[in-house]
Structure 1
Amino acid sequence: MLVISAAGWAQDLPVHVDPDARDDVFDPAEIPALRFLTTDDFPPFNYADANGRLVGFHVDLANAICLRLGARCTIQAWPWNQAQDALADNQGDALIAGLDITRDAAERFDFTRIYLQLPARFVAPKDSAQDFRPGAIGGRVGVLAGSPHAELAETSLPQAEIVGFESDFAALEALEAGEIGYYFGDAVRASFWLNENPDCCGFAGEAYFRPDLFGAGFAMAVPSGLDNVRLALNWALIRLQREGRLDELYLRWFPVSFY
């Protein structure tokens, strides 16, 4: 996992797809078109906007991949409980919807390179965020009750009082109200909230990557054995990273970088 500081954006940007990676070999003539499956209820990654149009980070990424490959592109939304079966039934070439890379999923599908990981972050009031030292944390730390983040906080912050909330946003609102001193949890949800509450708080310290707790990250699933599609997607991801296109898409949808 590499993180670069991009001076032009004054943000930390993810580099999950190694731009120096060896190219995957495939025949572009075998990929004249790509059929992506997704869902319409997972903002900001894939969701239906107020006009019913399918939008989101994943939608833009799928279109960018097709453009880079010179392939015709279709993106179809399915209910989450049907999307995997539709892919297994070859009703699509790739599922781009945040499917966890679990053992069960790996038995059904092959996966591309990981293009986005989901770290944990601390959030603190702005007056204390810059001098943040995780080893010195005391007082009340808000977490999503029952989450992997709560588990990690319980074992790693012995001097703190870990306070569980029914949602990440409830914990962040408690932070704004001064009821807790810190929030620790999902960095993606926190970035949405910080974008709406820029004067209150900020990310404190560095991002925490624990694949054993938070998952391996986002990759596209393809039907098992469909190697030409998987290799083509990997090829496109590497080039989009090299060309800066992945950074553009990331900052379009996540203006408060969660890295």
Structure 2
Amino acid sequence: MCRRRSILAVLLGLWTGCAVGQTLPNHVDPSARDILPDLTSLPAIRFLTTADFPPFNYRDENGALVGFNIDLARRICAEVDVPCTIQTWPWEQAANALADKQGDALIAGLALTAENGERFDFSAIYLALPGRFVTRADAARDFNPSDLDGRTISVREGSAHEEFLHRYLPDVEVTASEDEIAALQAVESGQADVYFGDAMRASFWLNDNLACCSFAGEAYFRPDLFGQGLAIALPAGHDSVRHAIDWALVRLKRSGSLDELYLRWFPIGFY
């Protein structure tokens, strides 16, 4: 048992990936060249998005289009110094609208799947969505992910995070709930010792339940299970726009603007 726990501790340490020692997203290639691409063929960037993906892109109580993605699109255009338009589409039509070149870029969380990769090009990833553990606040400080035997872990039923637990922690007791909120409330009520799931969704619940619970341990980046993260989709071959967006993302990270947006929209950071 001790040997198994030792091996498990090593694996869990590796799974945290680039999250060790950092609390802010940092997906910028350190060797990226800070050279403005040729913009002679780029008079403006026409962004497409949806209005049903809070906190990334949605309409507020006044009907205004807001969100992390909306602010990011505008910052990109300002950095590149070109006019910016943002047009909303229903989710089921947005990808086809991009394929028909009714816009230059889609910033709406389109998954980086093999199927979408055949239809579109993608920018660099600007935000990954890791998995994280949540415990009662008083248990977070001494949390040890390699010592979970005998603990009950709550998770959303049918999620990739449930698969993660069954695959890598087969000896823990897993209790599945219909959604993330119910799974988190199981920790709050004492029905479960630990929650594991989507860190971004958990961060919003924690923002309203700081007296109860806290993130415990590091963030887990598993692209094969949790997805590659968020990137901006573009029509295939639309290289001038893609290069301009990637250049802007590097500049926004180096200037601190990308961190400022992250902290504004995610007050309980999930990295």
Q: TM-score, normalised by structure 1?
A: 0.95
Of residues 124, 130, 134 in structure 2, which corresponds to 1:113?
124
Of residues 225, 240, 243 in structure 2, which corresponds to 1:231?
243
Q: What does the per-residue CA deviation read over 1:113-163, in whole Å, with 9 as the maximum and x for residues that have no partner?
A: 111100000000011111111111132100000111001111222332100
**Matches of 1:140 and 1:160, distance apart in 2:** 7
Q: Is the CA contact (8 Å cut-off) linking 1:144 and 1:164 kept in structure 2? A: yes
% identical equivalent positions: 59
Q: Is the CA contact (8 Å cut-off) linking 2:154 and 2:192 kept in structure 1? A: yes
The answer to whether residue 150 in structure 2 is matched with residue 158 in structure 1 is no
The answer to whether residue 151 in structure 2 is matched with residue 174 in structure 1 is no
Q: Secondary structure at the match of 1:173?
A: helix
Cα offset for 1:24? Answer: 6.1
Task: Map 1:100-139 to 2 at 5 A.
Answer: 100-137=111-148, 138-139=150-151
Please name the residue that 2:37 is paired with: 26
The answer to whether residue 262 in structure 2 is matched with residue 250 in structure 1 is yes
Q: What does the per-residue CA deviation read over 1:75-111, in whole Å, with 9 as the maximum and x for residues that have no partner?
A: 1111000000000001000000011111110111000
Q: Is the CA contact (8 Å cut-off) linking 1:24 and 1:234 kept in structure 2? A: no
Task: Map 1:198-209 to 2 at 5 A.
Answer: 198-209=210-221
Q: Secondary structure at the match of 1:32?
A: coil
Question: Over aligned residues, Cα RMSD in angstroms?
Answer: 1.4
State the AA in 1 paired with 2:233. A
Q: Is the CA contact (8 Å cut-off) linking 2:19 and 2:218 kept in structure 1? A: no
**Matches of 1:225 and 1:25, distance apart in 2:** 19
**Matches of 1:17 and 1:75, distance apart in 2:** 25
**Matches of 2:167 and 2:104, distance apart in 1:** 42
State the AA in 2 paired with 1:162. V
Of residues 46, 65, 86 in structure 2, which corresponds to 1:54?
65
Q: Is the CA contact (8 Å cut-off) linking 1:87 and 1:93 kept in structure 2? A: yes
* Runs of 4+ with >6 A deviation: none
Q: Is the CA contact (8 Å cut-off) linking 2:124 and 2:231 kept in structure 1? A: yes
**Matches of 2:128 and 2:215, distance apart in 1:** 17
**Matches of 2:211 and 2:27, distance apart in 1:** 30
State the AA in 1 paired with 2:184. L
Q: Is the CA contact (8 Å cut-off) linking 2:45 and 2:104 kept in structure 1? A: yes
User: Unpaired segments of 5 or more residues in structure 1?
Assistant: 7-11
The answer to whether residue 49 in structure 2 is matched with residue 38 in structure 1 is yes
User: Unpaired segments of 5 or more residues in structure 2?
Assistant: 1-16
Q: Is the CA contact (8 Å cut-off) linking 1:24 and 1:231 kept in structure 2? A: no
